[in-house]
Amino acid sequence: MTELPTTPEEAEAELARLAALLGEYDRAYHEQDAPIVSDAEYDAIRRRNAEIEAAFPSLIRADSPSRRIGGAPAQGFGKIRHLVPMLSLDNAFNADDFTEFADRAGRFLGLTAPITGFVAEPKIDGLSISLTYTRGQLLHAATRGDGTEGEDVTANIRTITSIPTTLPAPHPDRIEIRGEIFLSKADFLALNAAQEAAGDKVFANPRNAAAGSLRQLDPTITAQRKLRLFAYAMGDASAPVAATHWDYLEQLIAWGFTVNPLSTRLETAAEAAAFQDKIGLERAALPYDIDGVVYKINALDLQSRLGFVGRTPRWAIAWKFPAERATTTLEDILIQVGRTGALTPVAALTAVNVGGVIVTRATLHNEDEIARKDIRIGDTVILQRAGDVIPQIIGIVPERRPVDAKPFTPLTHCPVCNSLAVRPAGEVVRRCTGGLICAAQTEERLIHLASRGAFDIEGLGDKTMREFFADRLIQTPADIFHLATRESEIAAREGWGALSARNLIQAIETRRDISLARFIFGLGIRRIGEANAKLLARHYGSFTNWRAQMLNAVVIGSEARSDLGSILRIGPAIATELAEFFAEPRNVATMDALAAELRIADAEAAQASASPLSGKTIVFTGTLTTLARPEAKALAERLGAKVTDSVSKKTDLVVLGTDAGSKARKATELGVRTISEAEFQSMAETGE
Ligand code: IVH
């Protein structure tokens, strides 16, 4: 290491240089997912920065890298696909929410009394991990990642001595065990003290520290970090392990895992409420951070019948402790323009720490919300943050209102393109009418186009897209596919290099082959989310056909328009939205220019492999014996069917319970296919 600067001028100049350099490295790593220096080099620069700051403390910059907090650099992990997706939990915040959860589960199962029999486990705010064992040996360990695919952190997990690498027999041939990796409060504080002393980054909370420690490329660093695991769930298994969750936890203990010792069995919702209070009181004294209690229905057969809704199970809930609050000043109300022109007011706040997170922005939702809460610029506002949820402004402190507090007046024009901003009667949202002439809308649409559910272009996240848009590298969707001609220009940009530019161009090239559904979703048409885009793709099959039909559908009353409106779940309102998009020639021209760059795959293949119930209209009649009605309905809907009450010519399938009456007769009359409950179940299970 070179010698320290001798004069304050030299020190100041070098600190400025290091701050800029580290800023650039951070951006490359966090925003472009394309680090430009090794971890070791990065750490050396941070240490140099810390040494100069120690010698010249009065020169520490406001934007000093030593003040920044963040996860540890980690790159280059292999990916592991989860055999069973790693999902999340729905939240409860009070006893009513919990009762509602228990009632809902009971109703779903067709029980007459509320469901009982839970296991409660403190909810550690760490990071979840999946451990796969084959023939009793630890095969691999993966982080949750996006829920479908995680990072391979096997080498790091092997350094955690409390995690068994071998399971004593008996055990299934293959089993996946899940749990939470965390750091104790004491180990977190000690780690931060050591980091600070070494001039390394300090972590914002135990969760970040645990994540940063696990996601280290060098396992010897992980080994020093005292990570722990509480095991709590099952993933994939080649054979059943237990009949209840509680027995499963006991089995985990027998295999050598640590299960949270406060885990307990409870019968009723009232017992859950008492447990919640008890843990709430013990919370501060626990050696690790928790943010609530997870309650799971104990019987595993009920768990599997209850299944999932969206990304959360019906058989478990996280009852969170009350959220963290703070007050701060509302400095200004900014207006954000969204992809579809929606103008959203955003609070610009004096920076404040809310439960460990520095907050400077919060959404104000819409102008009615501002009026309802009587929020004025200059007010002291109360902020609340619950878990990972984005902070909310829950109200103001009226006594602290300054005399010159300024009420908010909704804009009559778009702040970006100055087009008229209108709020249609009956809607809460004001919208810019500028469409594609509005730079903000265009920019947001481009961001949407490259995003995960759409074209999913790695390395073209929203920060990069904003920069490329501002610098006119990308102005229209088709420009993305012209970037290859500007590779050297990209490579020369700040924070980029030959390699990252090459990677980006390659990522773009692979997306020239795209499914019709992704293409449609990528256009960012209002109300056409992923699900509707898939429906459209399946219905129309090819891009050429879809395009022609949409142009025909522009005419109100046309056959194409009524066909569009009759697609299950599309309906007339969404049909209008599509027709309006196609009625604007600039939209069609922009779309065509993009399509000319692509090979858009037809959707037939997807249809062939879909479930036999997909797109079918089903009626259940009579008393079902193995499935409760809501359960049967949810199962059918999950497989893409539409469930209706009455039998007509449009009905594809009638499922007959016992004592089926008039609907069964009507089905026979109309020649509609009827099947038994057992046949329905086997169809649902085997997909045939
Ligand atoms: S069970 C289907 N049990 O909370 C979800 N999760 O919001 C199964 N967590 O990603 C999760 N303690 O990281 C479960 N005892 C516990 C937990 C727990 C903490 C975390 C976990 C999960 C998140 C869900």
The tens digit of pLDDT for each residue in 139-162 reads 999 998 888 888 999 989 988 888
Nearest ligand 1 atom, CA 126: 13
CA–centroid distance, residue 238 to ligand 1 (Å): 22
**Mutate-to-test residue for ligand 1 from 82, 88, 265, 297, highest number of ligand atoms within 8 A of CB:** 88
Q: What is the per-residue pLDDT for 523?
A: 95
Q: Of the given ranges (214-223, 249-258, 663-672), which has the lowest mean pLDDT? A: 214-223
**Whose Cα sits closest to atom 24 in ligand 1?**
88
Average pLDDT, rounded, for the chain: 87
Report pLDDT digits (tens) over 36-75: 766 667 777 888 888 888 888 788 877 777 655 333 333 4
Whether residues 641 and 567 fall in one domain:
no
Domain that holds residue 37: 8-68
How many angstroms separate the CA atoms of 278 and 70, rounded? 33
CA–CA separation, 561 and 551 (whole Å): 9
Query: Does the global pTM surpass 0.75?
Result: no
Query: Is residue 228 in some structural domain?
Result: yes
Distance (Å) from CA 383 to ligand 1 centroid: 26
Q: Could you tell me if 213 and 316 lie in one domain?
A: yes
pLDDT at 508: 97
Residue 87 Cα to ligand 1 midpoint, Å, equals 8
Ligand 1-lining residues (CB < 6 angstroms):
87-89, 121, 123-124, 128, 180, 232-233, 294, 313, 316, 318
Give mean pLDDT, residues 69-87: 67
What is the Å distance from ligand 1's center to 244 Cα? 17
Is 624 found in the same domain as 532? Answer: no
Give the closest residue (by CA) to ligand 1 atom 21. Answer: 128
What is the CATH classification number for the domain harbouring 356? 2.40.50.140
CATH number, residue 526: 1.10.150.20
How many Å apart are CA 596 and CA 599, to the nearest integer? 8
Do 94 and 229 belong together in one domain? yes
Q: Are residues 176 and 198 in the same domain?
A: yes
Confidence of residue 207 (pLDDT cuts 50, 70, 90): confident
Q: How many domains does the chain have?
A: 6
Torsion angles phi and psi, residue 23, rounded to 5: -60, -45
Ligand 1 nearest-atom number relative to CA 318: 7
- 3-state secondary structure string across 382-438: EEEECCCCCCEEEEECHHHCCCCCECCCCCCECCCCCCEEECCCCCCCCEECCHHHC
Least confident window among 164-168, 490-494, 667-671 = 667-671
Residue after which a domain boundary falls, among 298, 320, 342? 320
Instruction: Report the range of poorest mean pLDDT among 10-19, 176-185, 470-479.
Output: 10-19
Q: Which residue out of 87, 90, 123 has the highest number of ligand 1 atoms within 8 Å of its CB and is therefore the one to mutate?
A: 123
Nearest atom in ligand 1 to 313's CA: 2
Instruction: Kindly state whether residues 251 and 347 are assigned to the same domain.
Output: no
Nearest CA to ligand 1 atom 11: 88
Query: Among all residues, which ones are annotated catalytic?
Result: 123
Rounded distance, CA 270 to CA 261, Å? 21
Same domain for 657 and 580: no
- For residues 214 and 360, membership in a common domain is answered with no
